[in-house]
């Protein structure tokens, strides 16, 4: 890999601290970074390079010293030129020393309200152009979610990006696309001839997708209270999981073909109509949420959302998809279940068919793997049926652990590989669906159900699925 400069805006924030820097360090330890690279943390605090190096609290690792020599700090207010100009000087010096235009990556890891001003400044100070003045081919920009607040603001942000960068320079990050078992969906579904023929509405009864997190919002109140889980997790991660199990086979594994297939899947998610909103979408807030730091006393922000929706494509039409995402839940679990129609043959009816038949469950985390439930004959002299599980666990089968999602995200950005990053069309389609819900909630003033901490969400979320004669698995 060629030398690079990475500028992390928001270097003292949560994302840089807990994800970006640890992932870069891990890539370094695995020998995956080039010998020459420079990471500049850009933030408001008045601290030194040394302060930044100790800020992340990783000094106990013997290799931290070697890695942190590559780490520098640039103080700056996002709205003032000064920080950017001083950074330009420092980067020019690197280009001089290296006698080349070192590729520059700008990683926007700040709260989203800062994106516009940072992009404007990158452009007005010409930092976005890199050292090949007038040509921006030496730069890339990575932008974290939430990408906008609704369809309109997402469109505005996208236009702003497009004014400054070419599409091939833009990396709209959704780290769920970098999770091993999400990437595996293409192989699992399309490299195995036995699943594909049944992966459609003739055989599938319904699909469930769950992102359940034990943690509450922790110290992120300031960010989260104005955002909510629909925007923070559902618009991106949850819908990407839906896309992974519903998309058509891409024409090829090229970047654009895979992005086309993903975008088509998201485009075909049908918006929930206003009259069905109360029936098909439930929002909730965990009991102790209002006592979290930086949360308004009368906050109506949802920390949980459950929804039922359909897709319009031939393959998936009429299959109900139940998807939920919540914080402060009973357990940490991210999984997708494909529940097949229970067709227990008439032969077996008198022996009692289990209520649910075949289910393929794709576990994204923890313990990533896939399991398949099927019905078997219980041992014994009499015929009786029972469902059992056939399991594949990554950790049992593969010695080497896959890359963490952020390691994959960073490696791909550094390599200029965009397949696992959102393209404008998929992003805007997901926002269209989500904005419909946001507007519906506001218009009808639908309730925000309080749910107990460490539970699986409000009762209304159970009713959402149970009224269709089904259950969350």
Residues that bind ligand BG6 in the complex, under the rule CB under 6 A: 213, 232-233, 334, 405
3-state DSSP call for residue 211?
strand
- Cβ proximity to ligand BG6: between 8 and 277 the closer is 8
| Residue 104 or 408 having the CB closest to ligand BG6 | 408
Cβ at position 54, least distance to ligand BG6 in Å: 25
In whole angstroms, give the CA distance from residue 102 to residue 90. Answer: 12
Handedness of CA 457, 205, 436, 152 (dihedral sign): positive
- The conformational region for residue 148 under phi > 0 = left, psi -120 to 50 = alpha, else beta, is left
CB atoms within 10 A of CB 404: 18
CA distances from 170 to 135, 136, 160, 331 (A): 15, 12, 11, 35
CB of 121 to ligand BG6, least distance (A): 25
* Contacts (Cβ under 8 Å, ≥6 apart) of 400: none
Grouping H, G, I as helix, E, B as strand and the rest as coil, residue 366 is: coil
Q: What minimum distance in Å lies between the beta carbon of 444 and ligand BG6?
A: 26
Q: Give the distance from CA 277 to its chain's centroid.
A: 24
Nearer to ligand BG6 among residue 74 and residue 212 (C-beta): 212
**Cβ-proximal residue to ligand BG6, closest one:** 232
Length of the chain counted residue by residue: 473
Q: Which residues pair with 172 in a beta bridge?
A: 143, 422
Tell me the closest approach of the beta carbon of residue 145 to ligand BG6, in angstroms: 6
CB 71 within 8 A of CB 59: no
Helix (H, G, I), strand (E, B) or coil at 292: coil
Active-site pick, 237, 345, 436, 462: 237
The single residue listed with the structure tokens 């590559």 is 70
- Between CA 108 and CA 342 the distance in angstroms is 48
Nearer to ligand BG6, 228 or 320 (CB): 228
CB of 213 vs ligand BG6, minimal distance in Å:
5
Q: How far is the CB of 13 from ligand BG6 (least distance, A)?
A: 12
* 70 a catalytic residue: no
Our CB check for ligand BG6 shows the closer of 70 and 179 to be 179
CB 444 within 8 Å of CB 283: no
User: Which residue's CB is nearer to ligand BG6, number 326 or number 357?
Assistant: 326
Active-site positions read: 237
């Amino acid at each position: 890999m060629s030398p690079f400069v990475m500028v992390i805006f928001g270097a003292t924030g949560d994302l840089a601290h807990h994800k970006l820097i640890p992932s870069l360090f891990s890539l370094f330890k695995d020998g995956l970074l080039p010998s020459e690279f420079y990471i500049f943390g850009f933030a408001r605090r008045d601290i030194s390079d040394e302060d930044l190096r100790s800020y992340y609290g990783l000094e106990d690792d013997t290799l931290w010293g070697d890695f942190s020599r590559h780490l520098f700090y640039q103080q700056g207010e996002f709205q003032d030129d000064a920080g950017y100009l001083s950074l330009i000087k420092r980067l020019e010096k690197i280009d001089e020393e290296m006698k080349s235009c070192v590729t520059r990556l700008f990683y926007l890891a700040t709260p989203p309200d800062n994106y516009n001003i940072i992009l404007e400044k990158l452009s007005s100070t010409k930092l976005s152009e890199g050292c090949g003045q007038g040509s921006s081919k030496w730069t890339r920009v990575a932008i974290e979610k939430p990408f906008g607040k609704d369809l309109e603001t997402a469109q505005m942000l996208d236009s702003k990006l497009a004014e400054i960068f070419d599409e091939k320079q833009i990396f709209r990050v959704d780290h769920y696309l970098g999770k091993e078992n999400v990437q595996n969906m293409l192989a699992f579904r399309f490299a195995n001839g036995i699943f594909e023929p049944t992966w459609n509405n003739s055989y599938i009864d319904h699909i469930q997708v769950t992102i359940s997190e034990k943690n509450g919002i922790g110290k992120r109140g300031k960010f989260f209270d104005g955002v909510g889980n629909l925007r923070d997790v559902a618009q991106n991660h949850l819908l990407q999981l839906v896309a992974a199990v519903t998309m058509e086979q891409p024409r090829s594994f090229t970047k654009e073909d895979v992005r086309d297939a993903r975008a088509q899947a998201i485009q075909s998610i049908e918006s929930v109509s206003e009259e069905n909103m109360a029936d098909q979408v439930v929002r909730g807030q965990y009991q102790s949420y209002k006592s979290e730091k930086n949360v308004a006393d009368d906050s109506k922000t949802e920390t949980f959302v459950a929804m039922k929706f359909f897709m319009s494509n031939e393959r998936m039409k009429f299959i109900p998809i139940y998807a939920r995402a919540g914080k402060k839940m009973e357990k940490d679990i991210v999984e997708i279940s494909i529940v097949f129609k229970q067709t227990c043959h008439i032969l077996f009816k008198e022996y009692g068919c289990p209520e649910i038949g075949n289910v393929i469950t794709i576990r994204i985390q923890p313990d990533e793997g896939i399991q398949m439930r099927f019905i078997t004959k219980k041992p014994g002299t009499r015929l009786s049926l029972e469902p059992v599980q056939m399991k594949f666990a990554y950790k049992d089968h593969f010695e080497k652990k896959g890359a963490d999602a952020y390691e994959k995200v960073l490696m791909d950005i550094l390599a200029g590989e965009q397949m696992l990053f959102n393209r404008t069309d998929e992003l805007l389609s997901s926002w269209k669906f989500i904005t419909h819900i946001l507007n519906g909630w506001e218009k009808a003033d639908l309730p925000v159900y309080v749910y107990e901490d460490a539970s699986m969400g409000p009762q209304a979320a159970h009713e959402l699925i149970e009224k269709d004669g089904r259950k969350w698995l």
